[in-house]
Structure 1
């Protein structure tokens, strides 16, 4: 069924289009039809749908036909608007989390349909050019929601504290797998199955599947203790926060709505906050940050104090640093790497407040090999260490910004033969220096970096793996433009 709201809006858009094509104002249309200007305005904004006799009156005044007026078919100038409205994309994204009312968007569309149409058409073209999917659109919307809230959600933090109190969990101590499994089984009626997933070769990359009808949680034998803890904590989150519209696999393989994407994030946030409690983490971070010299072992020891998963720890830092240390100019990156392919894929990113480098590269360019996250990822396949940690101060060659960047590389816990690195970058400023006392330590490695080889102007880079073709093209055009200007001056 086509929603009444959609029918009203399409009729309003068509009425406005036909009226403007006839060079007729709302006042003029009101005068020739005898209908009030305010009533016609509400029709054009999709708030009211006229009865049959009114439609006949309008079609006669506009030299149109009744069938043309009521048809839901839009001409090419308005077709993209109809496409986005009919796709239900506005319904799928809970606009209220961004402080937006759907009616406001409808008003904007109704007010300037041609301009909005041009904008929507441009977005569609960009989406096609970069092969963007509904999935990537929803994930981008989620990132925007995280960034808008500095990736800190106090209501979920409070839910974790409430849960811990209700189940007598001491968050000053590291939780055990048995603690969470007991709650799932005894309190929420779960059955844990550790055998089934192993029987299916197609599910080798999944760590868990939840079957809601029987409350059976299938967990892979290859899931390590940190993964199992995280899975249990997410399942507890779904139950304790009474979330029913959810994903059933870890890692996720598909979703049906933006709500599922958002709820998956909320459950993951809950899990991270439960496994790495805020108060304990803040206390430990202050001790590390107050040191005048930088010691990498302080960070690796700190990670292990809370979890065996560097990714979970770094993710938690993106919640805590903006809230408790007012360090908001952050970026979080996750890279995947398979040595045989020799390419580095940015598979997850988050940027708090500022538009920080780097962002996911859609042009198949080569990420800068001077990044500490690429360095650790390059070295981990040949390392005897299961967790390779490093840090450096990176200054981008095209800006005045500097970042203190932490990076951890490990085997990819989900795919054999793959590796991943996590990076957390903190912009260096007067404020961050006051919080991180060790930033002036001269022993910290410093590197001048680019974004991609193709866009980098560092001429003596030994790590370069591709020519700076975009820089060369720009310089070539600048030289051509200079000669053209001279010729113009000569013959003017």
Structure 2
């Protein structure tokens, strides 16, 4: 047991016993002969009393000595004990968010009952939605991204230093060959492209890294863009000297929060290396200056980098906030299986907390008017490799309007599976100043909802379910109104 944990548990128990006996700190000081400041430090987990002091408190409070020193907590404090013993506070680098662990311990010590109720609520919600440790870690990283507008200048500078040190020309499109040479010559990697295909159970893995021999196993089905990204990510781990890392792509399981954070750092470095900020910024400026949206030029830009649509759209979420001060945006990845009506929102980032849509766990039906879903339906029926869409989406229920860019592609690793990647930019004064083509009449404009169950759009031709949640809210409001009328009628 850690010493800090033992101190805190004893302090929590002492405070609980004291309050149950309606004693103030001053009263316990008078009763025990121990100073008020000393007792306060004990209750706040700063000090652990010697055996004779524990015996004194046990006698004066009429509580058995063994009960006082036991680490067992009653049901009111048990959730706090679980939280502290789980070492979750140690696993998350709280300093990323400007938080000290000691501050949290002080909060727990000063209001144990309220904190316990809060923790119990969080645990219950987590259990209800099967919220795993990995989900918690990923949510923490997303919050870290949002807090920094998803732009990390130190990583951008590392990319520039790397390109100079290894004479990587960032003015041209990088190839996997460029990066493979650095991995093998500089970092001693061995590339194996045959072993993964021998195991059917590993069909969804793109790569596996074996650190003992520095062997990188690659899947047969990966294309040039995926290979380049994997190599760039491996370079990031080595150049940034990251040791606590994941060894599979995509990830299977996170053991520690640092692995999640380091995975993000390596991915960010890879994206910045393959899609240099200055080049992307310059091309976006050209597109934004036009009075009409030039789809061909946009696609030429995105396809000009040796990267997947997902990596390209993610890179937009780095560059738009920093280079154009466009910070109110969202990023979504939605997957779909051909022949079904199921759509899964399985990756999202919101650089402003007001954004819709968000993933939900209530089996509701996402709005079929989204350009993201339209692209998925189109590509699942066509033989095209890429379906691009642009739409100005107005959310009347939220009073917000977004410019949404979306690309749908086939999932190369899953039969009849497709995915769409979208970036939505909140239309406000800032966006209107930066993007000239917002008045382009050829851009489809559409009123949309979040889910059918919450949508007030009348006579929607693609509605999948009635607006049951809105109907329930309206019914409750009607009942409240009748009750108010009855109260007014009979109050005298």
The two structures have a TM-score, normalised by structure 2, of 0.98
**Alpha-carbon shift at residue 308 of structure 1 (Å):** 4.1
Q: Secondary structure at the match of 2:393?
A: strand
Distance in 1 (alpha carbons) for counterparts of 2:56 and 2:380:
76
1:469 matched to which residue of 2? 468
Distance in 1 (alpha carbons) for counterparts of 2:340 and 2:287:
38
Distance in 1 (alpha carbons) for counterparts of 2:107 and 2:235:
42
Distance in 1 (alpha carbons) for counterparts of 2:41 and 2:295:
64
**Alpha-carbon shift at residue 491 of structure 1 (Å):** 3.1
Distance in 2 (alpha carbons) for counterparts of 1:415 and 1:230:
20
Q: Secondary structure at the match of 1:447?
A: strand
2:439 matched to which residue of 1? 440
Distance in 1 (alpha carbons) for counterparts of 2:316 and 2:201:
34
Checking the alignment, whether the CA contact within 8 Å between 2:229 and 2:307 is kept in structure 1 is no
2:247 matched to which residue of 1? 248
Q: Secondary structure at the match of 1:320?
A: helix
Checking the alignment, whether the CA contact within 8 Å between 2:246 and 2:259 is kept in structure 1 is yes
**Alpha-carbon shift at residue 182 of structure 1 (Å):** 0.4
2:213 is the counterpart of 1:202: no
**Alpha-carbon shift at residue 414 of structure 1 (Å):** 3.2
**Alpha-carbon shift at residue 413 of structure 1 (Å):** 3.3
1:163 matched to which residue of 2? 162
Distance in 1 (alpha carbons) for counterparts of 2:179 and 2:62:
71
1:292 matched to which residue of 2? 291
2:36 is the counterpart of 1:37: yes
1:269 matched to which residue of 2? 268
Q: Secondary structure at the match of 1:384?
A: coil
Q: Any unmatched runs of 5+ in structure 2? A: none
2:479 is the counterpart of 1:480: yes
1:227 matched to which residue of 2? 226
Checking the alignment, whether the CA contact within 8 Å between 2:369 and 2:462 is kept in structure 1 is yes
Distance in 2 (alpha carbons) for counterparts of 1:486 and 1:37:
56
1:146 matched to which residue of 2? 145
Deviations 1:147-195 (A, max 9, x none): 0010011111111111101000111111111110000000000000000
Checking the alignment, whether the CA contact within 8 Å between 1:296 and 1:390 is kept in structure 2 is no
2:177 is the counterpart of 1:178: yes
Distance in 1 (alpha carbons) for counterparts of 2:112 and 2:413:
47
Q: Secondary structure at the match of 1:173?
A: coil
Q: Secondary structure at the match of 2:168?
A: coil
Between 1:119-128 and 1:266-275, the stretch displaced more is 119-128
Q: Secondary structure at the match of 1:410?
A: strand
| Cα root mean square deviation, aligned | 1.1
Checking the alignment, whether the CA contact within 8 Å between 1:307 and 1:313 is kept in structure 2 is no
Deviations 1:55-95 (A, max 9, x none): 11111121111100110111111111111111111111110
Distance in 1 (alpha carbons) for counterparts of 2:175 and 2:480:
67
2:308 matched to which residue of 1? 309
Distance in 1 (alpha carbons) for counterparts of 2:476 and 2:30:
58
Between 1:43-52 and 1:256-265, the stretch displaced more is 43-52
Alignment of 1:250-399 (within 5 A): 250-399=249-398
Checking the alignment, whether the CA contact within 8 Å between 1:376 and 1:408 is kept in structure 2 is yes
Alignment of 1:18-97 (within 5 A): 18-97=17-96
Checking the alignment, whether the CA contact within 8 Å between 2:224 and 2:306 is kept in structure 1 is no
**Alpha-carbon shift at residue 340 of structure 1 (Å):** 3.5
Distance in 1 (alpha carbons) for counterparts of 2:401 and 2:168:
41
Distance in 2 (alpha carbons) for counterparts of 1:295 and 1:434:
18
Checking the alignment, whether the CA contact within 8 Å between 2:236 and 2:270 is kept in structure 1 is yes
Deviations 1:435-480 (A, max 9, x none): 0110111111100000000000101210101111111112222223
Checking the alignment, whether the CA contact within 8 Å between 2:336 and 2:418 is kept in structure 1 is yes
> What is the total number of aligned residue pairs between the two structures?
491
2:112 is the counterpart of 1:109: no
Q: Secondary structure at the match of 1:472?
A: helix
Deviations 1:118-148 (A, max 9, x none): 1111111111222211111111111101100
Deviations 1:312-338 (A, max 9, x none): 000000000001100000000000111
The two structures have a TM-score, normalised by structure 1, of 0.98
Distance in 2 (alpha carbons) for counterparts of 1:322 and 1:490:
56
Q: Secondary structure at the match of 1:155?
A: helix
Deviations 1:22-71 (A, max 9, x none): 11111222222222222211111111111111111111121111100110
Q: Secondary structure at the match of 1:171?
A: coil
Distance in 2 (alpha carbons) for counterparts of 1:148 and 1:482:
42
2:123 matched to which residue of 1? 124
Q: Secondary structure at the match of 2:169?
A: coil
Checking the alignment, whether the CA contact within 8 Å between 1:147 and 1:353 is kept in structure 2 is yes
Distance in 2 (alpha carbons) for counterparts of 1:107 and 1:219:
49
**Alpha-carbon shift at residue 352 of structure 1 (Å):** 0.3
Distance in 2 (alpha carbons) for counterparts of 1:368 and 1:217:
42
Between 1:377-386 and 1:475-484, the stretch displaced more is 475-484
2:215 matched to which residue of 1? 216
Deviations 1:353-391 (A, max 9, x none): 332001111111000000000110111111232010010
Distance in 2 (alpha carbons) for counterparts of 1:300 and 1:315:
15
Distance in 1 (alpha carbons) for counterparts of 2:41 and 2:386:
63
1:489 matched to which residue of 2? 488
Distance in 1 (alpha carbons) for counterparts of 2:412 and 2:260:
22
